[in-house]
Each structure stands twice: as C-alpha cells, then as structure tokens.
Structure 1
Amino acid sequence: MKARLAASAALALGLALGASGCSMITYQATTEKYDASDGVSVNIGDLDLRNILVVSDDGEDGTLVMTVVNRGERDATLGVQFGEGGGDVVEVDVEAGQTLVLGSKDEDEVVLEGIDAEVGGVLPMFFQYADAEGVEKLVPVLDSRLSEYSHLAP
C-alpha cells in the first residue's frame, strides 16, 4: 500500500515537472520589449515617442514620422537634432496630456532638410525634452514605396 502511494506521488511529481519544467530553463521571448512596427521608440521624461522613422526618396530631405504622447501636466517642446556631429535642430510642441501624430493628415509635415542619409539605412537622431536626459537613437530611413508612406516623401 505504501509502495503504491509512493509510486503515485513520484509519478504525479514527474508529470508536473515534465509539463512545466521547460519554462524554467527555456528563454522566454515574450518577456522582451520590442518595437512592433518599422520605426523605433524612446521615452524621455513625460514624453513617449513611438514609431520614429524618416521617409525620404533621395536621402537628402526626409519627412519625420512619429507619435509623441505627452503624459505630463505641462505643454512640452521636444527638440530633435539630426545628422552626424549634431546637425540641425527641429522643435515639436505637444500640449499637456495630448498625443501628436507627425505624418498624419491632421498635422503639418516636419521636413528634415539635408539629412544626407542612405535610404534603407539609419539616421542618428538626438531627442531632448526640458531638463530630462536626452537620448540618441538610430532612426530608420525608408522610402515611399510602401503604400502607408507613399504620401510622406518630401
């Protein structure tokens, strides 16, 4: 009787470990954060920048595309510096608690002139907001062949 009870307990323990043990030693890809679109993302203070990319057909001038979410209680001015060695700076104003979608039909285009970037490559960009620590990102430069970006090339 004791042997059957011990065998049943050992079998139950073996089944439990066999059914769940792989998650103890296997890498879990679902725990990794990633950008699920063509662009990159960054958080700076109260500003969340999502799906940042540049659309350019010639690599000289490009349209900045991104979504900026201001989670703060004050209006914010985001400084965007682009190019090697800290080229030009573009400022983008975002009202408190609002979302701004650059590249949408509701917003004016933000054209970056003289980006000198290879289409299909990346453009170094530096994002700064108020006294929050700025962040540099390598932003993809895409062309207008994709239908969702066809109206965005300058």
Structure 2
Amino acid sequence: MRARTMATVVVAAGILLGTTGCNLYAPQATTIHYDASDGVSGNLGDLAIRNAILLTDDGENANLLVHVVNKSAKSVNLLVQYEGTDEKVTQRVTIDPNATTEIGVPGGENVGVQSLNASAGSLFPVFFQYGDLTGIELLVPVLDGTLDAYSTLVPTPTPTVVPTSTPGVTETPTDAPTTTPEPTTAPE
C-alpha cells in the first residue's frame, strides 16, 4: 500500500512539473505586444505611438489618426513629418504630460496630410520625433472610409463657391459704395 501511495505522489509531481515547466521554455502569448487594430505602433522615448492610420477618400488628402501616450511628467512637442509630392512637410503637436493625446478625432489635435499620392491599401512613411531623440519612421497603412468606424474621420474637401450669373445680365456688387465719400475735418 505504501508503494502505491508513493507511486501516485511521484506521478502527480511529474505531471505538475511537466505542465508548469512549459512557462520556462515558451514565452507567454499575453506578454507579446502586437497591433490589434488596423494601424501600426512604435515607441519613441517616453512616448508610445499607437494605432497610426491615414484615412483618405481621394488618395491626395488624408487625416492622420493616432493615439500618443506620454509617460513623462513634461509636455512634449512631437514633430510629425512626411514627404509630400513637392517637399517635406513638418507639423508640430503638443502632447500633454501623463496623458493620451488623440490625433485625428473630433475635439482632438489634427494632422492633415496633403499631396499624399497614395491609394487605400498602401503604406505611407510617416516620421515621428521630439527633443534630441532619434525619431522613428512608421509605415502607416492608408485606409478609406468604407468601414463605418472610419467614415466620419475621412477628410472632406472644402467646398468651392462658384459664382452664378445669368447670360446678358451684369450684376453690381451690393456692398460696393456708389459714390466716393468726401473728406471731412474733425471738430476742434
């Protein structure tokens, strides 16, 4: 009876050690960082750049959608830089201390990208840098407003006002003075 009890204890100890030993050789999947959404992420000093996406409808103008987490006690002037069709464009965004700054959402900071020249489904390089740190370049995915979650975040073109006129009729501006006022002298 004693040998049977001892054998059971040895087998139980072997199973217990065998199942807990997996953690010694294989990393836990929950500790591995990955981008769970459509965007890309990166770390830059005290800043964590999370889920960066460019949203466009026409391939020319885009809205940068990104969350930046500042883990320091000081505000940071983040430089966001990209290569336009003619020149490099740099924009500054102030990132509050010990907070998450949302860029590209209503009520948040805004970084508009003009002369994108990239269609939905492509990757576009965007450079992030602050202070004297070496910056990072992220290949940011370009998406359109097809998904409902992104449909309201796509930049809309500014409307252009086209003057309407009737052929053969000349219009005079209503706010233009009809006569030139005479100069007057101030009373003494």
Q: TM-score band (shorter)?
A: 0.7 to 0.9
Which structure has greater strand proportion? Answer: 1
TM-score, normalised to structure 2's length?
0.70
**Is the contact between residue 83 and residue 123 of structure 1 (CA under 8 Å) also seen in structure 2?**
no
Q: What does 1:2-151 align with in structure 2 at a 5 Å threshold?
A: 3-20=3-20, 22-23=22-23, 28-83=28-83, 87-151=88-152
User: Which range moves more in the overlay, 105-114 or 132-141?
Assistant: 105-114
Paired with 1:16 and 1:98, the residues of 2 have a C-alpha distance of 44
Paired with 1:151 and 1:129, the residues of 2 have a C-alpha distance of 30
TM-score, normalised to structure 1's length?
0.83
Q: CA deviation at 1:21?
A: 5.0
**Is the contact between residue 38 and residue 51 of structure 1 (CA under 8 Å) also seen in structure 2?**
yes
Paired with 1:129 and 1:152, the residues of 2 have a C-alpha distance of 26
2:92 aligned partner, one-letter code:
E
1:35 aligned partner, one-letter code:
D
- Structure-1 residue corresponding to 2:173: none
Paired with 1:108 and 1:21, the residues of 2 have a C-alpha distance of 48
Structure 1, unpaired ranges of 5+: none
Q: Residues 130 and 148 (structure 1 numbering): CA distance in 2 closer, same or farther, change over 3 Å?
A: same
User: Aligned Cα RMSD in Å?
Assistant: 2.6
How big is each residue's C-alpha offset from its partner over 1:104-154, in whole Å with a ceiling of 9 and x where there is no partner?
211253210012222112111111011122111111111011111111222
2:30 aligned partner, one-letter code:
T
Q: CA deviation at 1:19?
A: 4.0
Q: Percent of counterpart pairs with the same letter? A: 42
Q: Which has the larger radius of gyration?
A: 2
Structure 2, unpaired ranges of 5+: 156-188
* Consecutive aligned runs of 4 or more in structure 1 exceeding 4 Å deviation: 21-27
2:117 match: secondary structure? coil
How many pairs were matched up? 154
Higher RCO structure (Cα 8 Å, ≥6 apart): 1
